[in-house]
Structure 1
Amino acid sequence: MTRELKEVQGIIFKRQKYKEADLLAKIITKEDGIITLVVRGALRPKSQLNAATLNFSYGRYVIYTNGRGLSNLRTYKEVKQYDGLYNDLTKNAYASFILDLIDHAFVEYQPLGKYYELAKFALERINENTDPEMITQIVQMQMLKAYGVEPELRHCLICGKETGIFDYSIKLGGVICSDHFATENSRLHLKPKETAVLRTIDLLPFERLGSIKLSSDTKKATRKAIDRIYRGTIDLNLKTKKFLDELKLFNPSNN
């Protein structure tokens, strides 16, 4: 396949040393998916390419690529940075987990479509001081479909009822109404409001969800429920998730 110069727009989210003065940097883009870039000379003093490929930098990047494997970064245009994410450990941890979650759901160069917009929405809101825990829960619920898990949250899986009191069943893969609580032993025993939150953040377009405010107790309960859904349906073991959980234990105010 012929290599060509191509301009992509995206967000840098992961870096590592490659050769003596080079870096590998991952970029998330809408049309071209996730691409690993070789950034030549980035570790040399005063390298402009280094500054343009810091984590949470975003803009337009000119790359040399054949649509598979490693691509080379040639130059960049109009690059900015989500400074709030880069400089704040807690925001950094949430944003890193979100991008890691998206990264593991797709192969490289697979177009992301709406999931790129979801990533951009999440980073912008966290950078603007919206509750990062709530934004992360929105992303987690909306990312289930990208992993091939499509929980039924519109109506009861057993009888089809759309209104009333609901709970979530991991075994059945969605919600059941209170008429079946006594017979379904795999339900999570969530409070009605907690189930309502899961339904809302899964079913509504994410653009409408950025201002949700919940009590700390409700957020803890929905976080635990989402973690159980992921453990019960998706085989993931992300270092960014482990670090985020440790950060919450170390600093309870982050809960």
Structure 2
Amino acid sequence: MALIEGLVLSTTAYRDNDLLVKVFTKDEGIITVMACGVKKSKSAMRPIGQPYTWVVFDGTYPKNKQGIGFANSVQESKIYRHVVEDLTTAAYAALIAKLVTVAFEEHVKQTEWYKKLLAAFAQLNEQKDPQVVTNIIELQLLPVFGVAPNWRADPLTGQVEGDFDYSDKYNGIIEKSHFDMDDHRLHLDQKTVYYLRLFSTIDISKLGSVTLSVVTKRGIQRVVDYLYDRQVGFQPKEKRFIQKMAAFEGQLAIKPRKRED
């Protein structure tokens, strides 16, 4: 038996009242545990059955780091209430949970990413822009997926200040004087480049108030999607749901035409 601390990422139904729960734990990385009876209305285990809840539970780790463990009783819990109650925030939280689930193997300790994940969910719960929080996680996960764009300096001169654009050919930013060396650069505006460089290194726990224009947010998302599609080769259904939701909200925002006599 052990006291296990972690963040609930997702749950899967198993028999009538039981769940298989995927938890990003502090000490063993991602594990899957069986939570018996958790779906019963009066079960004291219910917190572990709610995704995006921080929990401390009495249980057992998977034996020999294989298979599943067991959750026996919840000792402490903290739900990120805004994350689960706001539809848009919940959609971005689901995307973050899917990305880390795919990025990391189970049973491998990820101390820094555990801290980063909790910080991200705290920011979401404080109603920070969920796209901004998610873009930071997406950009900082790229090296875990084996993709490491150079956001720091022009590789040809080492220049760190100036006007830059993203180049697939040079796997990162290039300075304005070298734009003609890649006909397929992304033609990004400088504000988008600035935030891409910032988000790739920022400590998410120290994220302050960030208010970006729709144009800048679209530019950042375009680059993030480009990198995940072209270099990671991964587009989760959670991202497609966000895209469809944004398109639907855009339709609702269109004002009806005035009726002509």
On whether the aligned pair clears a TM of 0.5, the verdict is: yes
Q: Which runs of 5+ in 2 are unaligned?
A: 254-261
TM-score, L = length of structure 2: 0.90
| SS in structure 2 at match of 1:96 | helix
TM-score, L = length of structure 1: 0.92
Residue aligning to 2:28: 32
Return the alpha-carbon distance in structure 2 between the equivalents of residues 175 and 26 of structure 1: 37
Q: 1:217 to 1:18 in 2, by over 3 A?
A: same
Q: Which runs of 5+ in 1 are unaligned?
A: none
Return the alpha-carbon distance in structure 2 between the equivalents of residues 100 and 210 of structure 1: 25
C-alpha contact 2:83 2:89 (8 A) present in aligned 1: yes
Residue aligning to 1:240: 238
| SS in structure 1 at match of 2:141 | helix
Q: 1:169 to 1:211 in 2, by over 3 A?
A: same
Residue aligning to 2:88: 90
Deviation at 1:181, TM superposition (A): 0.5
Residue aligning to 1:60: 56
C-alpha contact 1:23 1:38 (8 A) present in aligned 2: yes
C-alpha contact 1:12 1:28 (8 A) present in aligned 2: yes
Q: 1:254 to 1:238 in 2, by over 3 A?
A: farther
Residue aligning to 1:132: 130
Residue aligning to 1:209: 207
C-alpha contact 1:97 1:240 (8 A) present in aligned 2: yes
| SS in structure 1 at match of 2:103 | coil
- The question of 1:191 aligning with 2:197 is answered no
Q: 1:253 to 1:51 in 2, by over 3 A?
A: farther
Deviation at 1:254, TM superposition (A): 11
Q: 1:254 to 1:95 in 2, by over 3 A?
A: farther
Structure 1, residues 131-175: CA drift from partner, whole Å, max 9, x if none?
Answer: 111111111111111112111111112222111110111332111
Identify the match of residue 14 of structure 1 among 3, 7, 10: 10
C-alpha contact 2:4 2:25 (8 A) present in aligned 1: yes
Q: 1:129 to 1:171 in 2, by over 3 A?
A: same
